[in-house]
Amino acid sequence: MQIYKLSYILILLLTFTAGFFSHFSYASNRYYADNTLEPTSGFAWDWGLGAGYYIEDSYLVGMDSYNDGLEPDIHLAISYNRFYLDYDQSQLSGGLTLGYSFVDKFDWGLDIVGTNLQAGFDETGLKFYGRDTIDELKGLASRHYDFDVGLRLSRRFQDSQFSFEYLHDVSGTHHGWVMNSFFSRIIPWRNWEFRSGIGLSAYSADFTNYYFGISASEATVNRPLYQPTASYSVIVEFHAEYPIHENWVFLTGWLSTWFSPEISNSPIISQHYQHKAKVGVRYVF
């Protein structure tokens, strides 16, 4: 019972921190060929802890286009037979994932997964980042975090992986769907490990309209009514790690996201892209 209580507390804590440090969220290291989300015999867990310095630009109007600061680097993987919980901030596209592995054979995997895909925001901007109303967002209704569940099909190769996901919102936030496809590759060089990936995500009209549409009650002279249709985004990620001590790892990364016109044309979106870079260290237990 203590294990289940601990797992429940961890889920609540990690869901909070995932929302705190995510803007346009994606997924965890399940996108990479060395992911640890595989069936285990009984209970197993692994974790690491560190910190990093990040620089990013915001896509919401009225927010500072340059944002930087310190953020924790947490990695926690818990599994029990075919069930798993994974929280990974070592990748810039990282986040919280809950899952169950149906198939893990011949380098193919079929899982049911649950994850947060989009951070919430309101007239103060991205939630947890500030409490002062932004003039350009004044009167904007709150957009809540979602939680999406669906199927993930993956194919692992020697140093690369391709995955496809179909996820549907089960939190009642937007009732929409998201499809993610991602190709990644890991290249070791001397003591370095380089990771690169490219992904394409498609979002239903319900998802796009909930987060980026403008309703009649939110419309103003400078913020017209806006009802977008389905949308998409493209992400490119680069990540590098280097062991600097027996248990210490240096890491750095870059993530770029480009939004389709259905998103970037929204009156509350300032640009069609977002970039984020970080550098930090992590202690591996």
Determine the 3-state secondary structure of 263 from DSSP.
helix
Q: Is residue 4's pLDDT more than 60?
A: no
CATH of 2-284, one of 1.10.8, 3.30.410, 1.10.3470, 2.40.230: 2.40.230
Q: Is residue 278's pLDDT more than 90?
A: yes
Q: Is residue 57's pLDDT more than 70?
A: yes
* Tens digits of residue pLDDT in 31-46: 665 555 566 678 888 8
Could you give phi then psi for residue 126, rounded to 5 degrees?
-65, 130
3-state SS of 18-48? Answer: HHHCCCECCCCHHHCCCCCCCCCCCEEEEEE
Interatomic CA distance for residues 185 and 31, integer angstroms: 10
Alpha helices by DSSP H, the chain: 2-20, 205-212, 261-264
Q: What is the pTM of this model?
A: 0.86
- What is the pLDDT, as a whole number, of residue 259? 97
- The mean per-residue pLDDT over the stretch 250-267 comes to 95
- The mean per-residue pLDDT over the stretch 88-94 comes to 75
- The mean per-residue pLDDT over the stretch 83-96 comes to 81
DSSP state of 282: E
β strands within 81-215, DSSP E: 83-88, 96-105, 108-115, 121-122, 125-126, 148-156, 160-169, 177-189, 192-203
- What is the pLDDT, as a whole number, of residue 129? 52
- What is the pLDDT, as a whole number, of residue 65? 76
* Tens digits of residue pLDDT in 183-241: 999 898 999 999 899 999 999 999 999 999 999 999 999 999 999 999 999 999 999 99
Lookup: tokens for 275: 């970039």
Q: Distance of CA 124 to CAs 19, 68, 107, 132, 164, Å?
A: 15, 18, 46, 5, 34
- What is the pLDDT, as a whole number, of residue 35? 58
Interatomic CA distance for residues 51 and 119, integer angstroms: 21
